[in-house]
Amino acid sequence: MTSGQHFLQIPGPSPVPERIQRAIDRQVIDHRGPEFQKLGHEVLESIKPLFGTTGPVIIYPASGTGAWEAAIVNTLSPGDHVLMAETGQFATLWQKLASRWGIEVDFIPGDWRHGVDAAAIETRLAEDKAHKITAVMVVHNETSTGCLSDIAAVRKAIDSAKHPAMLMVDTISSLGSTPVTRDAWNADVIVSGSQKGLMLPPGLSFTAVSDRAIAASKTNTLPRSYWDWQEMIAFNAKGFFPYTPASTLLYGLKEAIAMLNEEGLENVFARHLRLAAACRAAVKGWGLDVLCVDPKVYSPILTGILMPAGHDADNFRKVALENFNISYGAGLGKVAGKVFRIGHLGDCNELTLMAALCATEMSLKLAGVPHKAGGVAAAMTSFTDGNEKQRLSA
């Protein structure tokens, strides 16, 4: 074992702050009793502002993938058509999940270096004169690439095409790190998870639903039991759950929401932008390429970094782990071995990121990856010399 802390710089699960660890570390309680009821009401209500909604947010004891499946089985019927965009590995996995349920997916191809192309969505919807497409399903922050799609633009595309499709959004890695606004986006389903921006351990997933999505769940025909929204919503109204909730994680959730509110959501979002800009400054300083090529959709949550041709990203990550006790995100799917990802989300500040960037610069050297020195210095300059505007556009 090495001394000192492990640097968990993957883009989720993100490190769990001590306050949340303490909040979770307790005896379990009767999940049908008054103490739980108070907690249930509290978390079900206080999570709504994080989703920018006044409507219900369903909480499952499940990873984010569970909420993905719940979104499909509660709103769609076999043979329904949906429109999705190939932003990266997570969009691809959600598309596969939908296909397995017998949903016909029109998957708009992408190069894994851009966000969702809202114009392409508008074109597809405009062509769909018969309104066969039931839903548009997109990933907000594509964690496999580091591109943050413009969901308001997707909403606008649906409206411009005068198409009745529902809008479903995966905010699993964006919630709590960058604005998510169900009501303003007029999104019908927003799914999320606990182990990224919310700084919790894995094990909870969330679904914010619109009245329209709830109405759809009353007539759609895909089967479900565990994932059924109606049961959940009925029990949640009384502060309870239809089956055993992850009560200790819910104590953690209460603490996480308190921490985010104490810092102030605007400050939390600004911190993520600052860290992301410094990380990109470092990448530029090393003479390497950020995977995302559209500055308008640079992710505040993580940065994907392309390895120079002929150099293996997984070998680089191994060298970093063995020498400096740090974990980066691996390249996933199509970009496996070609990319590594630095997470700067959740319980991360300037010095956490600087340590990670120091490890990166040293590991590039040790792994024999061609680069320029000076990435770390560029990140420091980004923190000291940038005003807010420069930071946003760096």
Q: Which of 50, 70, 158, 172 binds ligand PLP (CB under 6 A)?
A: 172
Measured CA to CA, the distance from residue 358 to residue 193 in angstroms comes to: 30
Minimum distance of ligand PLP from residue 71's CB (angstroms): 12
Q: Residue 232, SS3?
A: helix
Cis peptide before 56 (omega within 30 of 0): no
Measured CA to CA, the distance from residue 78 to residue 345 in angstroms comes to: 37
Which tokens sit at 253?
């959730």
Minimum distance of ligand PLP from residue 12's CB (angstroms): 5
Name the residue nearer to ligand PLP (CB basis): 94 or 324: 94
83: which strand partners?
Answer: 106, 136
Measured CA to CA, the distance from residue 261 to residue 318 in angstroms comes to: 37
206: which strand partners?
Answer: 59, 192
Does the footprint of ligand PLP cover residue 181 (CB under 6 A)? no
Give the contacts of 225 (CB within 8 A, at least 6 positions apart): none
Minimum distance of ligand PLP from residue 302's CB (angstroms): 9
Applying CB under 6 A, the site for ligand PLP has a residue count of: 13
Q: Tell me the DSSP string of 17-70.
A: PHHHHHHHSS----TTSHHHHHHHHHHHHHTGGGGT-SS-EEEESS-HHHHHHH
Does the footprint of ligand PLP cover residue 170 (CB under 6 A)? yes
Position of minimal CB gap to ligand PLP: 64
Does the footprint of ligand PLP cover residue 12 (CB under 6 A)? yes
Does the footprint of ligand PLP cover residue 90 (CB under 6 A)? yes
Does the footprint of ligand PLP cover residue 139 (CB under 6 A)? yes
Q: Which stretch binds ligand PLP (CB under 6 A): 167-175, 227-235, 241-249, 367-375?
A: 167-175
Q: Which of 56, 61, 115, 193 binds ligand PLP (CB under 6 A)?
A: 193
Q: Mark residues 50-79: x for contact with ligand PLP by CB under 6 A, - for none.
A: -------------xxx--------------
Per CB under 6 A, residues contacting ligand PLP are 12, 63-65, 90, 139, 141, 143, 170, 172-173, 193, 202
